[in-house]
């Protein structure tokens, strides 16, 4: 099952970034996170991050595990640790939260330097192998990721989002300036929103909601800006003349943080940075389930 819809490419909406540009954005965000690591106060690795329940070193342990698995898949190999975890479950269902906790927990005996080094090598290998894919592999390959199958494009996008959001989690407590302080970057914010919009049918279905035939438009300004008109049923593409049932406007960085579960919906609405229109009840439902990752 493909978790992320590619109807944006088929209908000419949504993501407007080519393969080379996407790889360039990914390299830039990896380097940005690397610079944060370089300048972080060493003592803050043992401080809580903004991610509930995780210290800053735990966040990096999570990224090291995910990027190692992603690099192995991009290289055409099995994701060894991810498959080990699936085998460890037996009859228990796989959950993303369970995988994350397990992967972080088994790294508690490693030094912070080991964790950081592993992440750096894995993230770089992931991007190198991605660049080596030929056109057919880029178009046709699907990787068995944590909540379903992803194309190379969307696996790269998902990792950019991880680096961006978790980078902000750590910057909140490690003394390195965050996007709030130095300004937001266009593409990490945009890609976070784009993934959240694409995941909407999956997120609604996961919560037992069938909104087939309905659609939502997003008009977001500032760094990360973009426009989307998205069907809320799986695989649905709204007709060009269709009026959206839900209209969401506002500031792109704040909306991206809502989609990333870093900013509360009520706070975003109260500040006026996110504004709802159309069917307000349905708009609140959409805003309540939207998320930038499975």
HSE-up (13 A, CA, CB side) for residue 180: 12
* pLDDT in the model for residue 13: 52
* pLDDT in the model for residue 159: 98
pTM for the structure as a whole:
0.94
* pLDDT in the model for residue 12: 40
* pLDDT in the model for residue 6: 62
3-class state of residue 112 by DSSP: helix
* pLDDT in the model for residue 10: 43
- Ranges of residues in the chain with a pLDDT under 50 are 1, 10-12
Burial label, 86 (beta-carbon count in 10 A; 0-12, 13-18, 19+): middle
* pLDDT in the model for residue 15: 53
Distance in angstroms (rounded) separating the CA atoms of residues 154 and 252: 20
190-289 carries CATH number 3.30.1050.10 = yes
* pLDDT in the model for residue 146: 92
Query: pLDDT by residue (tens digit) across 238-254?
Result: 998 999 999 999 999 99
* pLDDT in the model for residue 2: 60
Region of 140 on the Ramachandran plot (φ > 0 left; ψ -120 to 50 alpha; else beta): alpha
* pLDDT in the model for residue 178: 87
Q: Which two tokens stand for residue 269?
A: 């609405």
**CATH class of domain segment(s) 7-183:** mainly alpha
Distance in angstroms (rounded) separating the CA atoms of residues 198 and 206: 14
Question: For the chain, what are the domain ranges?
Answer: 7-183, 190-289
């Amino acid at each position: 099952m493909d978790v992320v819809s590619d109807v944006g490419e088929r209908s000419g909406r949504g993501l407007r970034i080519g393969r080379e540009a996407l790889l360039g954005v990914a390299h830039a965000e990896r380097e940005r996170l690397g610079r944060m690591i370089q300048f972080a106060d060493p003592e803050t690795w043992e401080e809580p991050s903004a991610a509930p329940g995780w210290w800053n070193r735990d966040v990096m342990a999570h990224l090291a595990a995910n990027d190692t698995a992603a690099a192995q898949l991009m290289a055409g190999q099995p994701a060894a640790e991810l498959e080990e975890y699936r085998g460890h479950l037996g009859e228990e269902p796989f959950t993303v939260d369970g995988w994350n906790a397990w992967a972080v927990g088994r790294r508690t005996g490693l030094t912070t330097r080991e964790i950081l080094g592993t992440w750096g090598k894995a993230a770089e290998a992931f991007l190198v192998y991605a660049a080596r894919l030929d056109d057919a592999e880029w178009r046709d390959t699907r990787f068995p990721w944590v909540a379903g199958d992803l194309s190379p494009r969307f696996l790269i996008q998902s990792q950019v989002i991880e680096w961006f959001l978790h980078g902000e989690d750590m910057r909140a407590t490690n003394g390195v300036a965050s996007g709030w302080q130095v300004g937001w970057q266009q593409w990490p914010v945009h890609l976070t929103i784009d993934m959240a919009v694409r995941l909407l049918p999956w997120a609604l279905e996961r919560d037992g909601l069938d909104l087939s035939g309905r659609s939502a438009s997003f008009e977001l300004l500032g760094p990360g800006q973009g426009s989307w008109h998205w069907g809320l049923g799986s695989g649905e593409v709204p007709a060009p003349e269709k009026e959206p049932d839900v209209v969401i406007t506002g500031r792109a960085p704040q909306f991206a943080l809502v989609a990333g579960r870093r900013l509360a919906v009520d706070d975003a609405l109260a500040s006026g940075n996110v504004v709802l229109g159309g069917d307000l009840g349905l708009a609140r439902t959409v805003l309540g389930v939207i998320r930038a990752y499975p």
